[in-house]
Amino acid sequence: MSDLMSLHQLAQLQKNFMKRKILINLEQTKYKVIEEAVQLLEWKVTPSEIECHIFWKDTYVTDEEYRRLLPYQRINHFPGSYMLGKKNELCRNLNKMRKMFPEDYDFFPRTWQLPYQSEEVRQKQGTGIFIVKPEANCQGRGIFLTKKLDPFLDKHYVVQEYLCNPYLIDGLKFDLRIYVLLKSIYPLKVFMYQEGLARFSTKKYVKPQKKNLGSVTMHLTNYAINKRSKDFVFNDDTNKDDVGHKRSFTSVLKYLQDQGHDVKQLLNQIKQVIVKTIQSVQGELSHLYRSQQHNNDGIEQCFELFGFDILLDSSLKPWLLQVNHTPSFSTDTPLDKIIKKNLIMDTLILLDVKNKPKKIYLEQKRAPVYQRPMKMSQEEKEKKSSKMSLIEDKHLNGYIKIYPDENKDYYEQFMPPKPKERDSMINQQLDQVKNLEKTLKIQVEIKPPKLKPAKRLSTNQSFTELEGQSLQQLTGRNTVIPQARTTSQQRPFSSITAINRPISAIRKTVFPNQHQNLNTSQNQKRLVYPPPSELPPKPIYKMIPIKTFSFQKIENNQKNE
């Protein structure tokens, strides 16, 4: 707890920032607290999309909006951030990482995506309570608890195992809203705000039963749902941030510390949950960001403020419930206002927005011949990144840097491969495929060895002269020798089904129109055993004349009749 500032300390903290003439566009946001924070920084709000340095909007950024950004401008969302913000996408990414690292990614409940995993859900049915959530709704809309999932297997929902053993304070269930700043995706830079919110349900918690499954104010902690309850208590005094159904994050940590729990270990676990969750989408986000980024080395054009919802169970293990890509900045209570205003101020200060990139861009545009800026060398990039990290450490204010930190080596195993490593891996795989194709071609081109033709029996040899020779010498093949017979049962070549013999040694079927050869001996007739089936005679075709006729003759015949 000593590592974090209390709410009172955060409110009295003197902000460390440099005063600059920065313009920000707030046309696509509805929250007034952002404008109040901007005024405290002595920035100006402008509706212009060309003059502004920063865009702040409440919705996702499309690829087209991102491409329209000028090289000196920034926006408060990353392209593809829906991979964290949408429940179905978050489920897909975390399940993917859990398959690869089952022990490290055990911080979220078992989750399924309907209708794609309906068979797995059907097998789990009847084993406990499930919480069903729409894919893209927020503020608790459409969420319900159930035991039976058959009616929803063919619909688009996210199904999660319900955690029945939450940690309770005053007999109430609660979750933690923790604010996280993703300042850069490549290289990865993650900051956690020291203050947040603890949102409590308004009804005493009882383990889910058939009677209370519909009690949303008992099982759900969403502020948008519980504030409508008649039992909801608003916090009107910022000096008492441990009272009511919405409290500060640090007040809950203080309560846990007073109960004898290890708060430092809990904070480390929460930090790991945040970093690992962002790492699950880092590869895809960085690919989208770098493929559409302007040719400006060192300028971070995107940043994003996420709201992580975390639940503590009875053993004080943090469980990730969901990630909000546009956390609410409404200020219904003084507690909300003081936390969120300081959060936005510290976020804008940490960005370290300057006027110099804008001036350079405008000068290059006004020049008679526009020249693209030269790419920075690797040494210049390293110098600039080290300088930027020093500036970030000076302007943290209410933030804590959670990545990179002292556990960077541990997180490396969850990192996606770097571009050069990925290219080398792809090239290796292509080489393996090419080598396999070559070997297959060689195998096809190599012809099998020709077998020696079987020796034919001479027409001049008598069968008595051949009796002493083996079957292999006669046929040129490896044949299976039959069991020995008695002298009375022995027949010459009785086990051979097919042998290359001269035409004179084969008994032919004789048809009526063929001449029978009467010179064949009895031994030659016995040679083929069993005798071949007789072939049917060939059909004989005859030319039959067809009488010609005309339709006129037929009509005349009909008239005569």
According to the 3-state scheme, what is the secondary structure of 368-405? CCCCCCCCCCHHHHHHHHHHHHHHHHHCCCCEEEEECC
359 and 440 housed in the same domain: no
270 and 415 housed in the same domain: no
Is the pLDDT score of 262 beyond 90?
A: yes
393 and 440 housed in the same domain: no
219 and 233 housed in the same domain: yes
For 13-17, 118-122, 191-195, 464-468, which range has the lowest pLDDT when averaged over its residues?
A: 464-468
229 and 194 housed in the same domain: yes
- Percentage of residues in the chain having pLDDT higher than 90: 40
DSSP H helices in 395-536: 408-411, 419-445, 463-466, 471-475, 522-526
Domain end marker among 444, 463, 491: 444
For 8-17, 33-42, 441-450, which range has the lowest pLDDT when averaged over its residues?
A: 441-450
Specify the length of the chain in residues.
561
Does residue 319 form part of some domain?
A: yes
188 and 209 housed in the same domain: yes
Is the pLDDT score of 442 beyond 80?
A: no
401 and 417 housed in the same domain: no
Is the pLDDT score of 244 beyond 50?
A: yes
388 and 432 housed in the same domain: no
Does residue 256 form part of some domain?
A: yes
541 Cβ neighbours under 8 A, 6+ residues apart = none
Mean pLDDT of 384-391: 86
For 60-74, 408-422, 474-488, which range has the lowest pLDDT when averaged over its residues?
A: 474-488
The DSSP code for 166 is B
310 and 414 housed in the same domain: no
Does residue 347 form part of some domain?
A: yes
328 and 415 housed in the same domain: no
Q: How far apart are the first and last CA of the chain?
A: 122
Range of the domain at 438: 408-444
Strand duo 172-185 + 144-146: pairing: unpaired
Is the pTM higher than 0.85? no
Does residue 265 form part of some domain?
A: yes
Does residue 489 form part of some domain?
A: no
Is the pLDDT score of 508 beyond 50?
A: no
Q: What burial class does residue 542 get, using C-beta atoms within 10 Å of its C-beta: 0-12 exposed, 13-18 middle, 19+ buried? A: exposed
Does residue 223 form part of some domain?
A: yes
314 and 242 housed in the same domain: yes
For residues 317 and 336, what is the distance between their CA atoms, to the nearest angstrom?
Answer: 26
Mean pLDDT of 524-533: 50
pLDDT level of residue 237 (50, 70, 90 thresholds): confident
Mean pLDDT of 337-354: 94
418 and 388 housed in the same domain: no
Q: How does pLDDT run across 147-163, given as a tens digit for each residue?
A: 888 888 888 899 999 99
187: cis peptide before it, omega within 30°? yes
- The total number of structural domains that make up the chain: 2
Give residue 205's pLDDT: 93
532: cis peptide before it, omega within 30°? no
Does residue 493 form part of some domain?
A: no
